[in-house]
Amino acid sequence: MAGNSLVLPIVLWGRKAPTHCISAILLMDDVSMIVTGCHDGQISLWDLSFDLEINPRALLFGHTASVTCLSKASASSEKQYIVSASESGEMCLWDVNDGRCIEFTKLACTHTGIQFYQFPVGTQREGRLLCHGHYPEILVVDVTSLEVLYSLVSKISPDWISSMSIIRSHRTQEDTVVAVSVTGILKVWIITSEVSHMQDTEPLFEEESKPIYCQNCQSISFCAFTQQSLLVVCSKYWRVFDAGDYSLLCSVPSENGQTWTGGDFVSADKVIIWTEDGQSFIYKLPASCLPASDTFRSDVGKAVENLIPPLLFSVLDRADKQLLICPPVTRFFYGRRECFHKLLIQGDSSGRLCIWSVPDTLEVQDKTKGLEMTTSTSLQAAFHKLTPRPAGIIDQLSLIPNSNEPLKVTASVYIPAHGRLVCGREDGSIVIVPATQTAIVQLLQGEHMLRRGWPPHRTLRGHRNKVTCLLYPHQVSPR
Amino acid sequence: MAAAMASAAERAVLEEEFKWLLQEEVHGVLRQLQDILKEASHRFALPVGGTEGPIKQENFMLGTSSTDQVKGVLMLQGDALCQADINLKMPRNNQLLHFTFREDKQWKLQQIQDARNHVNQAIYLLTNRDINYQFKTGSEVLKLMDAVMLQLTRARNRLTTPATLTLPEIASSGLTKMFTPALPSDILVNFYINLNKLCLTVYQLHALQPNSTKNFRPTGGSILHNPGAMFECGSQRYEVSHVHKVECVVPWLNDALVFFTVSLQLCQQLKDKVRGLLAGDSLCFKRVSDLLKWMT
């Protein structure tokens, strides 16, 4: 839908919200909107109010495969752009204010992570997207044209990158990209302002390649509070490293067969790590991990088993344990604007978003209670709250006595040549209605509201069970 | 057949079957899948963190018949060619040219690394779903099978679909600079994996004169270019005069492809069983009616 003329589709959803099995989450910088991508390729925009009330606003259609990652794509607060990538290699640039797709491209490979960063180019800073995925390098992509400008490659053991973090050093004015490959090797690239400035840049080789023996790395985060440590979360353990020389400071294994799926720093001395089941744990780091303490780095060089372990501080659990068909997606966001919210946001396969607001001063929690969820809603819950209820296309013809729900439509085909919509229903009946007139009934008020059984329609009865498939052969081939 | 049956007894049977499916059958299939995929992963034989010792090196002879104008002996170590010995008989003057990789130079076959990584992703998806894990719904099983099948399909596609490259891309690939003695400027070389075979292609070029009357049409990307293909590199235009392709089957790639096919079948069969039960088709009734048909 790129282009100047905007065609706004209007959708008659019906009572049941569309499925939204969340696969990616993003919180916009001004904490006013949450963007979620799902396994079917749609992207949902949810408005977030000051008191953390969530309200789904729009559903963006564009991708044909599941959304793998989302990232912001603009720095300024006027343009709110995001970029999304899917399993089939599609990349889309969206304006989330009006839901327009501004740019679209398709690459041969899938991205599994994208981060927006402003690199210094000469005296200015230009926005770039750093992408990694099922290919052995990090691609630096122009944020407006979605073209690959250059790539960060490895000389030693080049392989797919699992996770990546960008560090800005105020001391040296250099930007460092730190990444972990699928074989557990830490890679470091240094991007100076000359590199970003060159046209047709040659690939940039890594500055350092250090095996850190981290298998199945899920995430890597740089501590924004101390600027001196790195958190690496793998599926069976999570570790803190010194960001200066990448030496190991502490390590925590997972318990009870749980799998860690990510984590982040919540303050200078606390980290939050979440699992595949949707539980999150806040740990207090030992003094040997804190640059401010006298015993910083006192454990460096010791074997993993002998490191002082962090203390479990608090557990964040879901209020209702609904049955999920795939692991939920959890991410921690630290708002940098007016409201310094620290939010843990989780989206799951039922189209539900849960938010925990992590207070700045965390007191020791009662271990059995944990930090309570602040708010939660789902697409279906939002649909239930609406009055009047969202209408389906032939609801007025599908009333069942003694039931609140209309008869379900189970198959349909639209015949443009005759302007007719044919709907098969779960009781075996087939209804043929004039398409535009039936839409008018739901959307507009008028004389038709007084007439019963309007629009004129035909009902065919013959099947005993729900209609599963309808075909109008003439539309497919005139013969 | 079973969807319309509302009888309580029949529904109870369906529920029992479904419980059995989620608790026993699914885990049996997943264990089989894990075993097969671990075998497949071993075929790709790459050490993890340098703890498993030196990777085995295998030699492959490409082009063994006496009529082949190109012969090559390639040494494959994991996902990289670590040595290449190529003999090329030039057609015009019957001159025999010989090239080898420069010392310590390796050519990485990205297709193999990608296929290996996809297999490992599939194994990872199955790792935490062993006998101790309780599946609560059929949809959960279907979603897991979809994710595993996606990785296996991708792994297979990486081996069956080599990259389409344009001739300028082949000329600037860095491979041309890896040989000693240096490749002459009218020879291009490319390696790739096609299905279970390691392939070596050699293109002999002839430079087009600027005042040539030939209609210059640069060729697009392709896995294998044909004689007559034209391209421009720098300020010089070329036309392909001869193409030589030799290949050799890599047995462990063959094994891996077989493992992919078997695993995909297992996943699909499990999906069909789960979907059937979710739709109300009883496996038990099907078997009984099959048995009856066989008996009568």
> Any chain B CB within 8 A of the CB of A203?
no
Residues of B in contact with A216 (CB under 8 A): 124
pLDDT one-digit tens code per residue, B232-261: 888 888 899 989 899 999 989 999 999 999
Cα radius of gyration (chain A): 26
Please state the pTM of the whole predicted model: 0.88
Query: Which site among B26, B119, B139 would you substitute to test the A interface, given the most A Cβ atoms closer than 10 Å to its Cβ?
Result: B139
Candidate from B49, B108, B118 with C-beta closest to A211 = B49
Q: Which residues on neighbouring strands pair with residue A100, listed in sequence order?
A: A95
Candidate from B113, B118, B154 with C-beta closest to A136 = B113
> Any chain A CB within 8 A of the CB of B137?
yes
> What is the edge-to-edge ordering of all strands in the sheet holding A33-38?
A22-27, A33-38, A43-48, A54-60
> Any chain B CB within 8 A of the CB of A134?
yes
pLDDT one-digit tens code per residue, B147-179: 999 999 999 999 999 988 888 888 888 888 888
pLDDT of B180 higher than 50:
yes
pLDDT at B3: 43
pLDDT at A300: 77
C-alpha B173/C-alpha B167 separation (Å) is 10
* Type of residue found at A259: T
Tell me which chain A residue has its CA closest to the CA of residue B5: A465
> Any chain A CB within 8 A of the CB of B110?
yes
pLDDT at A186: 94
Residues of A in contact with B108 (CB under 8 A): 158
B48 with A183: Cβ contact below 8 A = yes
Residue from A97, A71, A99, A75 nearest A85 by CA: A71
Tell me which chain A residue has its CA closest to the CA of residue B130: A257
- A265 neighbors A231 (Cβ within 8 angstroms): yes
C-alpha A155/C-alpha A55 separation (Å) is 48
> Any chain B CB within 8 A of the CB of A136?
yes
Query: Which site among A200, A236, A326 would you substitute to test the B interface, given the most B Cβ atoms closer than 10 Å to its Cβ?
Result: A326
Residue with tokens 């300024």: A76
Mean pLDDT value across residues B209-213: 75
Candidate from A134, A184, A326 with C-beta closest to B143 = A326
> Any chain B CB within 8 A of the CB of A182?
yes
> Any chain A CB within 8 A of the CB of B293?
no
> Any chain A CB within 8 A of the CB of B118?
yes
A158 with B108: Cβ contact below 8 A = yes
Tell me which chain B residue has its CA closest to the CA of residue A465: B4
pLDDT band of B48, cuts 50, 70, 90: very low
Tell me which chain A residue has its CA closest to the CA of residue B162: A108
Within the 400-429 window of chain A, which residues sit less than 8 Å (CB to CB) from chain B?
A: none
> Any chain B CB within 8 A of the CB of A326?
yes
* Type of residue found at A71: S
* Six-digit token string for A339: 């409201």
Contacts of A331 (CB under 8 A, 6+ apart): A25, A26, A27, A262, A264, A344, A345, A346
* Six-digit token string for A105: 């491209």
Q: How many CB pairs under 8 A join A and B?
A: 51
> pLDDT by residue for chain A (479 residues), tens digit each?
455 666 777 788 888 888 999 999 999 988 889 999 999 999 999 999 888 889 999 999 989 999 999 999 998 666 889 999 999 999 999 999 888 899 999 988 899 999 999 887 777 788 899 999 999 999 999 998 999 988 999 988 899 999 999 988 777 778 899 999 999 999 999 987 776 555 566 788 888 899 888 889 999 999 988 888 999 999 999 999 998 888 888 888 887 778 999 999 998 888 999 999 888 988 888 888 888 887 788 777 777 766 767 777 777 777 666 778 889 999 999 876 555 578 999 999 999 999 988 887 766 655 556 677 788 888 888 888 887 777 777 777 777 777 777 788 888 888 888 888 888 888 888 888 888 888 877 777 666 665 666 677 888 888 877 788 888 888 777 76
pLDDT band of B49, cuts 50, 70, 90: very low
Mean pLDDT value across residues B42-63: 66
Candidate from B4, B139, B154 with C-beta closest to A325 = B139
- In angstroms, how far apart are the furthest CA atoms of chain B? 88
> Any chain B CB within 8 A of the CB of A158?
yes
pLDDT at B23: 84
C-alpha A324/C-alpha B190 separation (Å) is 48
pLDDT at B47: 45
B124 with A211: Cβ contact below 8 A = no
For the residues of A243-291, what is the DSSP string, one character each? TTT--EEEEEE--TT--EEEEEESSSSEEEEEETTS-EEEEEPPGGG-T
pLDDT of B94 higher than 80:
no
pLDDT at A84: 96
Query: Which site among B113, B116, B118, B154 would you substitute to test the A interface, given the most A Cβ atoms closer than 10 Å to its Cβ?
Result: B113
- A104 neighbors A2 (Cβ within 8 angstroms): yes
pLDDT at B55: 67
A87 with B139: Cβ contact below 8 A = no
Mean pLDDT value across residues B114-118: 95
Tell me which chain A residue has its CA closest to the CA of residue B78: A157
Give the start-to-end residue ranges of the domains of chain B.
Answer: 2-163+248-287
Tell me which chain A residue has its CA closest to the CA of residue B1: A465
A213 with B49: Cβ contact below 8 A = yes
A326 with B118: Cβ contact below 8 A = no
Tell me which chain A residue has its CA closest to the CA of residue B115: A134
Dihedral sign, CA of B203, B204, B210, B216? negative
Query: Which site among B128, B133, B223 would you substitute to test the A interface, given the most A Cβ atoms closer than 10 Å to its Cβ?
Result: B128
pLDDT of B51 higher than 50:
no
pLDDT of B50 higher than 70:
no
pLDDT of B229 higher than 70:
yes
pLDDT at B195: 92
Tell me which chain B residue has its CA closest to the CA of residue A349: B140
Q: How far are the Cα atoms of B165, B175, B185 from residue B172, in angstroms, in the given order?
A: 11, 8, 12
B140 with A326: Cβ contact below 8 A = yes
pLDDT at A45: 95
Pairing mode of beta strands B179-180, B96-101: antiparallel
pLDDT band of B2, cuts 50, 70, 90: very low
Candidate from B3, B48, B124 with C-beta closest to A465 = B3
A158 with B139: Cβ contact below 8 A = no
Residues of B in contact with A468 (CB under 8 A): none
Cis peptide before B54 (omega within 30 of 0): no
Residues of B in contact with A158 (CB under 8 A): 108
Phi and psi dihedrals of B75, rounded to 5?
-105, 120
pLDDT at A122: 72
Up-side HSE of residue A9: CA atoms within 13 Å toward CB?
Answer: 10
> Any chain B CB within 8 A of the CB of A40?
no
Residue from B287, B260, B292 nearest B20 by CA: B287
pLDDT of B1 higher than 50:
no
Tell me which chain A residue has its CA closest to the CA of residue B127: A259
